[in-house]
Structure 1
Amino acid sequence: MLLMFAAVNRKRREREAPYVPTGVFLAGYVIVWAAFSLAATTGNWGLHQASLLSSMMGASTSGYLGGALLLVAGVFQWSPLKYACLTQCRTPMGFLMTSWRDGPRGALRMGLEHGAYCLGCCWALMLLLFVLGIMNLVWIAALAAFVLAEKVAPKGEWVSRATGVLMVGWGAWAIVNAAM
């Protein structure tokens, strides 16, 4: 998205049309993800205080918590909001063509808006790091690869749906095991 925004801006500058530094657009993304990071960090602190995360890798020590997060993420994979956000993330040129706003304020607003779409399709998956381990680089890489696959694969929505079913099953299994 950032590269596409920069390319559109470069073309506008060549035509001597109004353009804005790409960094302003990027600032919108940074604001959205910084706010989410702050919320996740606060949640991490609270879960550690409640002894629900391990001190080594930050993985859930509670089957109920892990199961609930997996259920939320799995159900969200099937939600209309997930697909609305995923559609915007999969077609950055479409977003730019339909949502372009001139000037620094416009670029910042576009960055905020598209950053919100990006967060909208990934927030539940990011919460899975509390289940898998927030410091576990293997799981971080696996989630990043999954997010990429659902955004660029020809039938990415089916990847999302299939993994949603798996997450719900895994979450239910974790909760049942915790109850035993």
Structure 2
Amino acid sequence: MSQVNDAHMVTLTNFVHRLRERMGTQVVIPYINPWDGGIEAKVMFLLEAPGAKARNSGFVSMNNPDETAKNFFEISRESGIDRKQIVTWNTVPWYIGSDSKIRPANSSDISAGVGSLAELLELLPKLKAIVLVGGKAQKAEDHIRQTAPYLQIFKSPHPSPLFVNRKPENRLILLKHWQAVQLFLEDSALG
């Protein structure tokens, strides 16, 4: 928490505060992780919605104590993507579940959630790409193409344990997708 107002984070933290004000006290919207790139990020990983661990920690983070976060951390590291180049966010930025369990995002959740995405993208001046992680995030593709046509869009499976841990080859599929993102970042740094 002591780092949410660091120089690379303060505008993103203010964005979360504005979003919380608009949405009201009934929703829980975690902060963006200050251990990642903040406004210096070159790639956004856009997932579905914050899980219970993100709700509890207060951060959208690959450091949360759950299997999805663990897979995200390990596979992004294996792909060679420096976390200082990443910002992680959710298509639906608020927690959508009960006290014990998240529920899948529905179409109205996604429609409501992507409305704030344009504002966030404006705060990320170095962003070059966005990775739509999982089927629910991929439903935001048209919105992103209209809002930010300058971004390279990648699609990727979700690093959930249901996908990654079910079959060993699934981990390799995810790794290949994220290695393509790393290759794009390397190429765009050269050009």
TM-score by length of 1: 0.28
1 or 2 for the larger relative contact order (CA 8 Å, sep ≥6)?
A: 1
The structure richer in helix per residue is 1
TM-score (normalised: structure 2): 0.27
